[in-house]
Amino acid sequence: MNKVGFFRSIHLKFVIIYVLLILVAMQIVSAYFVRQLETTLNDNFKTTIQDRVNLLAYYLEEQMVKDRLPEEGGPTLENDIERLLSDYYNSEDINEVQVIEGDSLKILGTSNIDNRAVVGQRATDTFIRVAMTTGQEMNDDFSDKQTGKRIWVLVKPIKVDNEVIGAIHISAKIENVYEQMREINNIFSTGTAIALALTAVLSVLLAQTITRPITDMRKQALAMAKGNFSRKVKIYGQDEIGQLAMTFNSLTRKLQEAQATTEGERRKLSSVLSYMTDGVIATDRKGRVILINEPAADMLKVSRETVLSTSIVSLLGLEEDYTFEELLAERESVILDYSEFQKNLVLRANFSVIQKETGFVNGLITVLHDITEQEKIDAERREFVANVSHELRTPLTTMRSYLEALADGAWQDKTLAPNFLDVTQNETERMIRLVNDLLQLSKMDSKDYQLNKEWIDFIQFYNRIIDRFEFTKQQNVTFERQLPNHADFVEMDADKLTQVLDNIISNALKYSPEGGKVTFRIEEKEQFLFISVSDEGMGIPKKNLKKIFDRFYRVDKARTRKLGGTGLGLAIAKEMVEAHGGEIWADSIDGKGTTISFSLPYVRTEEDDWE
pLDDT digits (tens, 9 = 90+) for 492-508: 888 888 878 888 888 88
Q: Burial of 568 by CB count in 10 Å (0-12 exposed, 13-18 middle, 19+ buried)? A: buried
Q: What is the C-alpha separation between 518 and 466, in angstroms, rounded?
A: 10
Does the residue 9 lie in any domain? Answer: no
What is the per-residue pLDDT for 1?
45
Cα separation values, 193 from 8, 26, 27, 34, 94, Å: 27, 10, 11, 17, 36
Residue 5 pLDDT exceeds 60: no
Residue 38: give the domain boundaries.
14-179
The helix (H) or strand (E) run that includes residue 78 is helix 77-85
Does the residue 403 lie in any domain? Answer: yes
Domain boundary among 445, 475, 497: 445
418 and 301 housed in the same domain? no
Does the residue 3 lie in any domain? Answer: no
Q: What is the C-alpha separation between 139 and 147, in angstroms, rounded?
A: 20
* Mean pLDDT along residues 116-139: 81
Does the residue 220 lie in any domain? Answer: no
Per the structure, how many domains does the chain have? Answer: 4
606 and 479 housed in the same domain? yes
For the chain, the residue count is 611
What single DSSP character describes residue 297?
H
CB atoms within 10 A of CB 345: 16
Q: Residue 285: name the closest of 230, 360, 212, 351 by CA.
A: 360
270 and 391 housed in the same domain? no
Does the residue 226 lie in any domain? Answer: no
Alpha carbon distance, N-terminus to C-terminus of the chain: 77
293 and 394 housed in the same domain? no
Q: Cβ neighbours of residue 469 under 8 Å, at least 6 residues apart? A: 479, 505, 509
145 and 170 housed in the same domain? yes
Does the residue 77 lie in any domain? Answer: yes
Q: Of all residues in the chain, what percent are helix, strand and coil, respectively (each to 5)?
A: 50, 20, 25
Residue 520 pLDDT exceeds 90: yes
User: What CATH number is associated with residue 408?
Assistant: 1.10.287.130
More confident site: 73 or 480? 480
Does the residue 74 lie in any domain? Answer: yes
What is the per-residue pLDDT for 608?
46
What is the per-residue pLDDT for 562?
46
359 and 489 housed in the same domain? no
Q: What is the C-alpha separation between 483 and 486, in angstroms, rounded?
A: 9
User: What CATH number is associated with residue 47?
Assistant: 3.30.450.20
115-149 core/surface letters (b: 16 or more CB in 10 A; e: else): eeeebeeebebebbbebbeeeeebbeeeeeeeeee
| Per-residue pLDDT reduced to its tens digit, 221-252 | 555 566 555 556 556 566 666 665 676 666 55
Residue 610 pLDDT exceeds 50: no
Average of per-residue pLDDT values in the chain: 76
Cβ–Cβ < 8 Å for 346, 336? yes
Cβ–Cβ < 8 Å for 237, 225? no
Greatest distance between any 2 Cα atoms in the chain: 138
* H helix and E strand count, the chain: 17, 18
Highest mean pLDDT among 177-186, 267-276, 582-591: 582-591
427 and 480 housed in the same domain? no
Q: Burial of 367 by CB count in 10 Å (0-12 exposed, 13-18 middle, 19+ buried)? A: middle
Cβ–Cβ < 8 Å for 437, 476? no
26 and 131 housed in the same domain? yes
Cβ–Cβ < 8 Å for 362, 354? yes
Domain boundary among 346, 367, 388: 367
Residue 184 pLDDT exceeds 50: yes
Domain boundary among 426, 445, 464: 445
Q: How confident is the model at residue 607 (pLDDT cuts 50, 70, 90)?
A: very low
Does the residue 218 lie in any domain? Answer: no
459 and 600 housed in the same domain? yes
269 and 337 housed in the same domain? yes
What is the per-residue pLDDT for 29?
79
* pLDDT over 90 percentage in the chain: 3
Q: How confident is the model at residue 103 (pLDDT cuts 50, 70, 90)?
A: confident
483 and 606 housed in the same domain? yes
Q: How confident is the model at residue 559 (pLDDT cuts 50, 70, 90)?
A: very low
More confident site: 412 or 170? 170
What is the per-residue pLDDT for 199?
77
547 and 588 housed in the same domain? yes
Q: What is the C-alpha separation between 116 and 110, in angstroms, rounded?
A: 7
Specify whether the backbone of 227 is left (phi greater than 0), alpha (psi in -120 to 50) or beta.
Answer: left
| Per-residue pLDDT reduced to its tens digit, 450-477 | 778 899 999 999 998 888 888 878 788 8
| Per-residue pLDDT reduced to its tens digit, 533-544 | 999 888 887 777
The DSSP result for 82-124, as a single string, is: HHHHGGGTT-SSEEEEEEEETTT-BEEEES-GGGGGGTTSBP-
What single DSSP character describes residue 451?
-
Q: What is the C-alpha separation between 561 and 78, in angstroms, rounded?
A: 95
Residue 300 pLDDT exceeds 70: yes
